[in-house]
């Protein structure tokens, strides 16, 4: 096999694309699922799982070191490197219930905080 090298700019662009795609999906699904809290909760958790490889790649580009595989550490790294509030992401990570709530919030109210932090991260990545 031949080793392929990717430029940091290409990886950054792909990460930005993935985050913006998730934002679009979350907004669209919110319009469709707003009255179904359990569906919103599943949507947020699914988006979060899909974003972890993106988060890790963004950290790798920003700090030029390989971040740990620990998800909480990745989220804390995002907070430190990009100045975002990792709280909503950590709440999703720690929530193991399927009751239409994340942490102490209904999924319907929680999605705003989650999307706001994703938007802030996307803007920061765009400026890298």
The DSSP H or E segment spanning 88 is helix 87-94
Q: Which of 84, 83, 103 is nearest to 93 (CA)?
A: 103
Give the pLDDT of residue 114. 92
- Residue 6 CA to residue 11 CA, distance in Å, equals 7
- Residue 34 CA to residue 18 CA, distance in Å, equals 23
Give the pLDDT of residue 63. 83
Give the pLDDT of residue 52. 94
Give the pLDDT of residue 67. 74
Q: List, for the chain, all residue ranges whose pLDDT scores fall below the cut of 50.
A: none
* The total number of residues written for the chain in this structure: 128
């Amino acid at each position: 096999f031949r080793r392929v090298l990717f430029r940091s700019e290409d990886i950054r662009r792909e990460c930005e694309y993935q985050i913006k795609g998730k934002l679009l999906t979350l907004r669209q699904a919110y319009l469709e699922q707003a009255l179904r809290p359990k569906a919103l909760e599943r949507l947020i958790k699914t988006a979060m799982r899909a974003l972890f490889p993106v988060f890790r790649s963004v950290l790798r580009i920003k700090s030029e070191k390989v971040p740990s595989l620990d998800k909480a550490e990745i989220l804390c790294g995002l907070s430190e490197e990009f100045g975002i509030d990792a709280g909503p992401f950590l709440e999703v990570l720690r929530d193991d219930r399927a009751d239409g709530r994340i942490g102490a919030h209904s999924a319907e109210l929680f999605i705003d905080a989650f999307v706001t932090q994703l938007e802030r991260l996307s803007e920061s990545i765009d400026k890298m």
